[in-house]
């Protein structure tokens, strides 16, 4: 049955992020109860370098780090520029699909390089030009109060409860989006992208914004099959952060800020794709 397949796929998607969430929440609990303000001062002092580190870590072949980064942003540990850098560099299922399909290495590394470059530039500029005066202060305690945290059982228990709460919510939302993708049909999505070759970069970003591993899988397969070009797949995969953005909506109560981060991620991905397309036309 379709529903059973969707439940299995959704469970598989969410399962990948659980270890990342638990480690991050354990780190946040440690910051609040063990490390005091020394860790906070250290992180705030090195914030300018965070977008670069975030872009590098985002290249890990998993959507787990993007979700973990969303929680770090909600507590003020990382900046908006760093979070967007992670979203832009996150490769989700792209790398694993390419390796499983035995794609040549010269089709893999250029995409990763583009994602890294765009993520670093966008993250640094966003922090300097847009969020320079609106940096969050690190406040893990406020985050725990919003989550109704119970510290009486120790940091491991609190981290586990945080992870369970977010995981359950994430699983439900993932099921909903996967059902929508299943209802539309991946063949129909592929036909939609192929129907607008001149706007393939724009259309690919719209597909990439679907918060599901299915969108990155679809874009990767379309690129390997020759349905879309290099610029389009880069644009689509730049904006695809897997379940990362869904975690953001769960843990960050500032809806306006969430919309702004999503929009800026989309704009950066679209701009990156269009610039690549222009460079390729000029070089042809």
pLDDT (tens, 9 = 90+) of the chain, 284 residues, equals 667 777 787 777 777 778 877 877 777 666 555 545 544 554 555 556 688 888 888 887 666 678 778 888 888 778 889 999 999 998 767 877 787 778 888 888 999 999 999 999 999 999 888 765 556 555 555 555 555 555 555 677 777 877 787 788 778 877 877 787 777 766 776 777 777 667 889 989 998 898 877 788 888 888 988 888 899 999 999 998 877 888 898 888 889 999 999 999 999 999 999 999 999 988 87
pLDDT in tens, 51-110: 888 888 888 766 667 877 888 888 877 888 999 999 999 876 787 778 777 888 888 899
- Six token digits for residue 86: 């992670």
| Count of CA atoms in the C-beta half-sphere (13 A) of 117 | 13
Domain count, the chain: 1
Could you tell me the residue range of the domain that residue 274 belongs to?
2-283
pLDDT at 270: 96
**Residue 191: C-alpha distances to residues 10, 17, 29, 220, 261 (Å):** 24, 31, 47, 15, 29
- Distance of alpha carbon 247 from alpha carbon 91, whole angstroms: 17
The candidate with the shortest Cα–Cα distance to 149, out of 168, 130, 162, is 162
pLDDT at 274: 94
Residues of the chain with pLDDT > 90, as a percent, come to 22
- Distance of alpha carbon 87 from alpha carbon 261, whole angstroms: 10
pLDDT at 35: 46
pLDDT at 99: 79
The candidate with the shortest Cα–Cα distance to 136, out of 27, 43, 66, is 43
Sign of the torsion angle spanned by Cα atoms 160, 175, 140, 150: negative
């Amino acid at each position: 049955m379709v529903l059973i397949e969707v439940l299995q796929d959704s469970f598989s998607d969410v399962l990948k992020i659980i270890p990342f969430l638990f480690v991050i929440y354990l780190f946040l609990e440690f910051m609040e109860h063990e490390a005091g303000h020394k860790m906070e001062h250290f992180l705030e002092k090195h914030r300018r370098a965070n977008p670069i580190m975030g872009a590098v870590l985002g290249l890990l072949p998993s959507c787990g780090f993007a979700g973990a980064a969303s929680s770090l942003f909600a507590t003020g540990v990382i900046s908006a520029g760093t979070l967007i850098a992670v979203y832009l560099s996150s490769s989700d299922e792209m790398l694993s699909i390419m390796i499983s399909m035995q794609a040549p290495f010269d089709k893999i590394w250029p995409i990763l390089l583009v994602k890294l470059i765009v993520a670093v530039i966008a993250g640094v500029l966003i922090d300097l030009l847009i969020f320079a005066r609106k940096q969050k202060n690190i406040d893990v305690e406020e985050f725990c109060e919003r989550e109704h945290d119970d510290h009486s059982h120790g940091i491991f228990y609190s981290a586990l409860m945080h992870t369970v709460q977010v995981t359950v919510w994430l699983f439900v939302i993932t099921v909903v989006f996967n059902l929508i993708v299943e209802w539309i049909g991946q063949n129909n999505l592929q036909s939609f992208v192929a129907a607008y070759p001149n706007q393939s970069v724009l259309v690919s970003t719209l597909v990439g914004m679907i918060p599901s591993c299915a969108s990155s899988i679809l874009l990767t397969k379309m690129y390997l099959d020759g349905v879309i070009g290099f610029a389009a797949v880069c644009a689509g995969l730049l904006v695809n952060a897997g379940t990362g953005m869904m975690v953001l909506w769960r843990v960050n109560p500032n809806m306006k800020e969430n919309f702004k981060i999503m929009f800026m991620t989309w704009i950066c991905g679209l701009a990156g794709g269009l610039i690549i397309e222009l460079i390729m036309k000029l070089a042809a």
